[in-house]
């Protein structure tokens, strides 16, 4: 399976940023040969997608970072930056605006598809400013319920830490009474930013930045999966599972993978997508619950066709 266009772009931008970050002086003609793209495409990379980097040389042939900025980005920054830059043309205006204005740890992006939140621009900006100023926010929140008639909302008081975009959905990640909480941005109403401030915890920031999970405080320590050799290459090429780690590669080519500190709801849909080439080894309850859901689904399908 070939890489999608934005994935190829992300890999190219990542490599360019790594080389710039290490102090290299890049020649646009040499880059054209390396990445098999035109110089016109590369000029767009530098002038449109990498515009917020501080260059001491900015073309038309050579590009180099300002000496004070060499080594400034760590690998997490580079990956986040490249992923965001590669899809900015697909983003609603508000997302492009925030990307161009700043690359910081208050806004995180994981994934390549984005919801349009342009109607909530003021609230988005207010929360981002509250994060920057370490100000409490309060709001009403209505969870999505399996019961369509249940629209109960609750009032929350939160120390906001990050605006996070995962799989196209914006979330507000914060802390209250020592517990890390996640709220879907579009389900927040009646937002208020308080003048009262809180002391930002570096431990909490590291915890949020270091995981792919959204279920803070409700994760299980480890889910172990076995991936069939037929599709192992896809999982070796890039992490398709949250917090994915390779345990070992078996003699037959199968992979044993571990997802650490995740909620089953973040893993099971991916396992279902790859059926029959992947299964949960442990905890056995997760595999059992998934099999139960699939069995019920097949029985419902069978019943449907019998009634036609």
Number of domains in the chain: 3
pLDDT tens digit string along 50-94? Answer: 776 778 888 788 988 877 767 656 666 666 666 655 555 444 444
> Do residues 160 and 239 share a domain?
no
Range of the domain at 226: 220-306
Q: Which of 282, 276, 219 is nearest to 247 (CA)?
A: 282
d(Cα 255, Cα 117) in Å, to the nearest integer?
39
Does residue 85 belong to any structural domain of this protein?
Answer: no
- Decide: 111 and 168 in contact? Cβ < 8 Å: yes
141 Cβ contact partners less than 8 Å away, ≥ 6 residues apart: 153, 154, 155, 156, 183, 187, 188, 189
pLDDT single digits (tens) 163-222? 887 766 788 999 988 888 889 898 999 999 999 999 988 888 877 777 766 766 667 788
Phi then psi dihedrals of residue 36, to 5 deg:
55, 45
Residue 265 lies in a domain: yes
Assess whether 13 and 114 both reside in one domain: no
Residue 238 per-residue DSSP state: S
| Tokens linked to 37 | 């793209």
CA 200 from centre of chain:
22
How many Cβ atoms sit within 10 Å of the Cβ of residue 71?
A: 11
For residues 171 and 235, state if they share a domain: no
Q: Of 84-88, 255-259, 303-307, give the range with the top mean pLDDT.
A: 255-259
Same domain, yes or no: 100 and 199: yes
Q: What is the pTM of this model?
A: 0.51
Last residue of a domain, one of 174, 209, 244: 209
The pLDDT value recorded for residue 137 is 96
């Amino acid at each position: 399976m070939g890489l999608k266009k934005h994935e190829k772009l992300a890999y190219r931008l990542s490599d360019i940023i790594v080389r710039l970050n290490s102090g290299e002086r890049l020649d646009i003609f040499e880059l054209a040969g390396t990445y098999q793209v035109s110089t016109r495409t590369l000029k767009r990379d530098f002038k449109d997608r990498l515009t917020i980097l501080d260059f001491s040389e900015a073309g038309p042939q050579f590009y180099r970072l300002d000496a004070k900025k060499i080594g400034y980005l760590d690998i997490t920054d580079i990956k986040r930056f490249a992923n965001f830059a590669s899809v900015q043309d697909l983003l609603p205006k508000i997302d492009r605006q925030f990307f161009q204005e700043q690359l910081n740890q208050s806004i995180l992006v994981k994934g390549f598809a984005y919801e349009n939140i342009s109607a909530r621009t003021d609230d988005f900006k207010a929360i981002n400013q509250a994060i920057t100023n370490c100000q409490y926010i309060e709001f009403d929140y209505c969870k999505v319920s399996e019961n369509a008639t249940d629209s109960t909302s609750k009032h929350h008081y939160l120390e906001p830490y990050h605006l996070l975009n995962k799989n196209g959905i914006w979330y507000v990640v914060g802390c209250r009474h020592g517990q890390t909480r996640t709220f879907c941005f579009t389900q927040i109403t009646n937002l208020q930013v308080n003048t009262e401030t809180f002391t930002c915890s570096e431990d909490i920031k590291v915890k949020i930045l270091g995981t792919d999970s959204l279920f803070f405080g409700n994760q299980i320590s480890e889910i172990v999966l076995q991936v069939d050799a037929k599709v192992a290459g896809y999982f070796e090429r890039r992490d398709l599972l949250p917090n994915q780690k390779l345990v070992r590669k078996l003699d037959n080519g199968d992979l044993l993978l571990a997802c650490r500190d995740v909620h089953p709801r973040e893993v099971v849909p991916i396992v279902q997508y790859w059926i029959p080439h992947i299964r949960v080894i442990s905890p056995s309850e997760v595999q059992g619950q998934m099999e139960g859901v699939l069995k019920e689904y097949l029985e419902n399908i069978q019943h449907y066709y019998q009634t036609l």
